[in-house]
Amino acid sequence: MVRQARRALVLGIVIMLTSCAKSDNREFENAFSAYKALFVIDGRVIDTGNNNISHSEGQGYGLLFSLAANDRHTFENIWTWTADILRRPDGLFSWRYTPCEAKNRTCVDDPNNASDGDILIAWALLRAAEKWGGDGYRSEAIKIINTIEKKLIVAQEPYTLLLPGVAGFKDDSGVQFNLSYWVFPALTAFSQNSDNPDVWKALFESGIFLIQEASFSSYKLPSDWTRIKNGKVSLDNVIAGEFGFNAVRIPLHLVWSPAFHENAKRDTLLAPFTTWWSSPDKPATLELENEAPSDYTMTPGMKAVVQAVNKIDNGKQPRWPILNRNTDYYSASLVLLSMLAVSDMSS
């Protein structure tokens, strides 16, 4: 009788957890349906807040989100468009496509790559191989991973750095980098699928160290962009020296990584973000050299990041923003990215 009661209890827990998982995925699927209707046309993810361009970041997000929503048709459309239009001869991806009459590769007006887009695309392909099987997705991912290793990961003692692109970020004035391009759970996946896992582990560890080292202002926050020369970090002549729309992804990428939660400095690394977010109506961006705030508050996507970090960090239940026609591409992407991170860390 006791054994039967235990079995019934275990079965009840399993059913409850399965039901919760299905409910969570249904919520994500509904959010992705709205995202797809708003931003995806014929495999092209449209950045509505940036003159309707498309870029490798958006294509990578579209792949991750369609995969998580189990929408293989949309995944294939996005991957086909990405491979046909953005893929460069070296296997990386041109970062920007500006709509033009031809609607083909000639609309690519900046052929330089963006390493966050390359990483997101490769990671989505790896995840697709795990979910749907077959060697095609994985082989495509491995090609991208190998090229990132060769062209975008550089030593700058004492760090291992990720170049934001093949061209334009390394010269006599040092290396300019973007810490939000370190997608930590993806780096772990790459180390498990690379012939050079130590390269990816070193990049992961350098990213963790730099988040603490490259902290600016009295708030000790990282910048969207940072320069390093002779082992010293600064905001000298960077693209943007603010904690803003790029850097807001950093804490999300941290808490999304199981390896990060094993780090002895976990709480120390998260503290500047949670402290900054602790009071209401925070500005969307903060200039780190003079602490000048923006005159507008955080977007729904930024607020979703805060909820995701709080959920993974301390279990506080999120209430995700609803996507609508007033939500721009990037804000919507942050919402779905936050939902996906929470789903991954809850499974």
Report the catalytic residues. Answer: 116
What does the block give as tokens for 181? 């391009």
Calpha distance 222→243 (Å, rounded) = 6
Residue 173 three-state SS:
coil
How many helices (H) and strands (E) the chain has is answered by: 11, 13
Q: What would the two tokens of residue 207 be?
A: 């990213």
Q: Decide if 42 contacts 77 (C-beta within 8 A).
A: yes
CA distance 85 to 343: 31
How is residue 87 annotated by DSSP? Answer: B
Instruction: List beta partners, residue 40.
Output: 45
Backbone φ, ψ for residue 227 (5° rounding): -115, 145
How long, in residues, is the chain? 347
Pull the structure tokens for residue 346.
Answer: 């809850």
Residues whose CB falls within 8 Å of the CB of residue 200, separated by 6 or more in sequence, listed in order: 187, 188, 190, 191, 194
Tokens in use for 159?
């760090």
